Amino acid sequence: MSSVPTDYPIASNREQQLQERRKFLQNGLRISGVLAAGTFGGFLAGRRGKAEATRWQIDPDKCVGCNNCATQCVLAESAVKCLQCFDMCGYCDVCTGYFSMNYLSLDTAAESQMCPTGAIARQFIEEKAGQRFFEYTIDESLCIGCGKCVKGCALMNGSLYLQVMHDRCVNCNECAIAVSCPTQAFDRLPANRPYRVKQSVYPLIQQKAAIPERDDARQLLREVSPP
Amino acid sequence: MSRRVHFMNWSRTTALSVAAIVCLTMAGDACAELIPTPNFSDHDIPSTRVVEAPSVVWNAVDVGVLLVALSLASYFALVVRSRKYLLWLSVASLLWFGFWRRGCVCPIGATQNVTLATFDGTYVVPISVVAFFVLPLIFTVFFGRTFCASVCPLGAVQELVSVRNVRVPRWLDQALSVIPYVYLGLAVTLAATGTAFVICRYDPFVGFFRLSGNASMMIYGGSLLVVGFFVGRPYCRYLCPYGALLRLTSRVSQWHLRIPPTACIQCRLCEDACPYGAIEEPTESPSVEQLQRERKRLVVLLFMTPFIVGLFAWAATGWRGTLAGWHFDIRLAEALKQEDLGLATEPNTATEAFRGSRRSPEQLYEAAATHRDRFAIAASLLGAYIGLVLWGKVILLTLRRGRQEYTPNKSHCVSCGRCFQHCPVELVRIGLIDNVEQMTHETHEVAT
């Protein structure tokens, strides 16, 4: 404390010391930072054997067709569309998914239909033992994913079900529909099998896929995650 | 005609009554067995057709593009020192990561995936997402925030609209720049508890990248862009949670961008060049008395740190209710309880669906209670973290950093390179002028 030099060279010396100390500290921080980042990344990547890319999908066994899929998707036209699982369909004449509850006539008139956009096509297939059978197919370009037909069909066989279509879905990190889904029916599936069918029909499709000429069933099975 | 009418009435009654009976008496899987799929004589039952998802190869391509872009950005900022190249690179990044890949995946959002994967062992995080989170951090340790300069599409879109330079007062700038740390803490808390990915939910520009989005999203992004005309990069500076991480990392970066290519001549021409207020002037050497005083102050401030942090941790216990309100199970449990008490006013799809499911209310209440306990801890940790951030800011503001020349603040500088053209030493380097006096002289003339 006797002589406190305040002249330039000593201050500069001190400055130098300070800078060296700072450099040493920074180097240490840098090295430990990179090591930490590397270890952390490696830990996460190696944690579950192999981490795979995933895509959003709806579990049709949880879905209640609440209409959120039509309104909550970030895309102007929702990525969710309705699918027809023909292997579950009863081919009913009086289809509760096709006909509105207050239909006027059992025909294809718009006011009789459940679907607000007329996306379901009804095609006569066969008449057996006095019963007429119809096939219902969905025009995906018209479907808005509102789930009205899903709700209707759930009263009978429940063959109509909503799925996220992966040619449309932008795979948001947080799916806006998933956030608002009242039954938390959304989760992530492996990107190479990004679709689902209802649990009860999966064995049926497996059986069908075993038939040599049913390429279509095998194709579906390749895209579907087992329940 | 009469037969038709008769059929209609019959079918309507049957259909509705069958439906009602099904609903009342059977549940779930039983429905599927109700009407067997017929066997037709000459019609095969078709299979459902689905469209394949885009190839996962894109994820690897994205990581490759990120790596190349980061390398180029660092090269352009530190070696070539070209604002023009950086700008073109940011346009390219905006087109690729923004409009072509539609803003997902991005390092900012990846923070949450990485957090969730850390806390929840069942959550799968793809390697590409981990790479997106880690790579920019590693580059920043060495080269500063070159990721922000021209790789991040959110940065790029703001960089392109930053045309007027309104200087934010230092006190306001310092105060606002705390927000990203708080936002990061909140996002990490909500991600770690598996509650929400708020960063993605409130991403301002992803709506533009997808060219669709709801109104509030577009208004939020639009207003940030309008503000961005006058105040450079408002999202990066005052909101971006990943930017907060990069700032910390960039603080210790090894080869950060410099304003002059060689020694600074202290001409002061770059003083107002930075629209982000990142350029700091040289400091005077302090007197020994001053240093001693400051050292004492630092000791006092450091000594107070645990108390401040503890105070915030204690105060934050009050937030647990608000935080918990984000969680689905807790919200559902509350709605269910309300309904049971007869307090609910409107029908709730979620509770209705829950009552139809196999899960019992007791299970739900138990799950909600577990989550609540976790939120009590999470809220305190978040409070402690915020206390640390605020107090850390106070300490940093009182610290003296010795600077001999005009330097970019390593944590605030985004390496955009706007300052290069303001530096006469740089202009001599690239051959625009012969000697520095040419420029400094002119300015003095204008000034006088």
Q: Which pLDDT does position B2 carry in this prediction?
A: 40
Give the rounded distance of the alpha carbon of B138 from its chain centre. 18
Of B373, B392, B411, which residue is a domain's last? B392
Whether residues B203 and B336 fall in one domain: no
> Residues of chain B whose pLDDT is less than 70?
1-33, 441-448
For the residues of A151-182, what is the DSSP string, one character each? HHHTTTT--EEEEE-TTT----SS-HHHHH-T
What's chain A's length in residues? 227
Whether residues B242 and B309 fall in one domain: no
Q: Which residue in the set B8, B45, B214 is minimally distant from A105, CB to CB?
A: B8
Any domain includes B232: yes
Asked if B104 and A172 come within 8 Å (Cβ–Cβ), the reply is: yes
Which position has the token pair 């310092």? B174
In this structure, are residues B385 and B185 in contact, taking their beta carbons and an 8 Å threshold? Answer: yes
Of B255, B275, B299, which residue is a domain's last? B255
Whether residues B180 and B296 fall in one domain: no
Asked if A174 and B36 come within 8 Å (Cβ–Cβ), the reply is: no
Provide, as residue numbers in chain A, all residues whose Cβ is less than 8 Å from the Cβ of B402: 15, 18-19
What is the chain A residue with the closest CA to B134?
A: A37
Number of A to B CB contacts under 8 A, please give it. Answer: 221
Whether residues B221 and B77 fall in one domain: yes
- Which one, of A67, A160, A102, lies nearest residue B353 by Cα? A67
Rounded CA separation B329/B371 (Å):
8
Asked if B43 and A125 come within 8 Å (Cβ–Cβ), the reply is: yes
For the residues of B330-390, what is the DSSP string, one character each? HHHHHHHHHHHTT---S--HHHHHHHHSS--HHHHHHHHHHHHHHHHHHHHHHHHHHHHHH
Determine the structural domain holding residue B307 and report its residue range.
Answer: 288-392
Residue in A173, A186, A205, A206 to test binding to B, most B beta-carbons within 10 Å: A173
Q: Which pLDDT does position A227 carry in this prediction?
A: 85
End-to-end CA distance of chain B: 102
Q: How far is B91 from chain A (nearest CA, A)?
A: 22
Whether residues B235 and B109 fall in one domain: yes
Q: What is the pLDDT of residues A119-143, one digit of tens each?
A: 999 899 888 888 889 999 999 999 9
Given a cut of 70, whether residue A218 has pLDDT beyond it is yes
Whether residues B250 and B190 fall in one domain: yes
Quote the tokens at residue A47: 């944690």
In this structure, are residues A167 and A63 in contact, taking their beta carbons and an 8 Å threshold? Answer: no
Whether residues B251 and B311 fall in one domain: no
Q: Cα–Cα–Cα angle for B79, A21, B250, nearest 5°?
A: 40
Any domain includes B351: yes
Asked if A163 and B51 come within 8 Å (Cβ–Cβ), the reply is: no
For the residues of B17-71, what is the DSSP string, one character each? HHHHHHHHH--THHHHTSSPPPPPSS-PPP----PPPPPTHHHHHHHHHHHHHHH
Q: Which pLDDT does position B307 carry in this prediction?
A: 95
The mean per-residue pLDDT over the stretch A182-197 comes to: 91
Asked if B252 and A85 come within 8 Å (Cβ–Cβ), the reply is: no
Q: How far is B399 from chain A (nearest CA, A)?
A: 14
Rounded CA separation A147/A163 (Å):
10
Residue in B8, B9, B47, B364 to test binding to A, most A beta-carbons within 10 Å: B47
Q: Which pLDDT does position A111 carry in this prediction?
A: 77
Q: Which pLDDT does position B199 carry in this prediction?
A: 93
Q: Is A76 in a helix, a strand, or coil?
A: coil
Asked if A90 and B138 come within 8 Å (Cβ–Cβ), the reply is: no
Residue B102: what are its φ and ψ, rounded to 5°?
55, 40
Q: Give strand pairing partners of A162.
A: A82
- Which one, of B356, B314, B354, B318, lies nearest residue B334 by Cα? B354
Q: How far is A79 from chain B (nearest CA, A)?
A: 12
The residues near A107 (Cβ < 8 Å, ≥ 6 apart) are none
Q: How far is B34 from chain A (nearest CA, A)?
A: 6
Q: What is the pLDDT of residues B2-48, one digit of tens each?
A: 444 444 444 554 554 454 444 444 444 444 457 888 888 888 889 99
The residues near A134 (Cβ < 8 Å, ≥ 6 apart) are A91, A92, A93, A95, A122, A123, A124, A125
> What is the rounded radius of gyration, in angstroms, for the C-alpha atoms of chain A?
30
Q: How far is A26 from chain B (nearest CA, A)?
A: 5
Q: Is B252 in a helix, a strand, or coil?
A: coil
User: Considering its fold, how many domains does chain B have in total?
Assistant: 2
Q: Which residue in the set A45, A171, A223 is minimally distant from B104, CB to CB?
A: A171
Q: Which pLDDT does position B442 carry in this prediction?
A: 61
Residue environment code for B75-91, b if the CB has 16+ CB neighbours within 10 A, otherwise e = bbbbeebbbebbbebbb
Provide, as residue numbers in chain B, all residues whose Cβ is less than 8 Å from the Cβ of A135: 43, 46
Q: Which pLDDT does position B275 carry in this prediction?
A: 87
Rounded CA separation B278/B408 (Å):
5
Of B375, B392, B409, which residue is a domain's last? B392
Whether residues B249 and B300 fall in one domain: no
What is the chain A residue with the closest CA to B128?
A: A53
- Which one, of B236, B358, B200, B224, lies nearest residue A56 by Cα? B200
Q: Which pLDDT does position B20 carry in this prediction?
A: 45
Any domain includes B23: no
CB count, 10 Å around CB of B438?
13
Provide, as residue numbers in chain B, all residues whose Cβ is less than 8 Å from the Cβ of A33: 137, 141, 249, 252
Rounded CA separation B365/A218 (Å):
43
Asked if A173 and B105 come within 8 Å (Cβ–Cβ), the reply is: yes
In this structure, are residues B351 and B336 in contact, taking their beta carbons and an 8 Å threshold? Answer: yes
Q: How far is B409 from chain A (nearest CA, A)?
A: 15
Provide, as residue numbers in chain A, all residues whose Cβ is less than 8 Å from the Cβ of B287: 6
Asked if A33 and B127 come within 8 Å (Cβ–Cβ), the reply is: no
Averaged pLDDT of chain A? 85
CA atoms within 13 A on the CB side of B272: 6
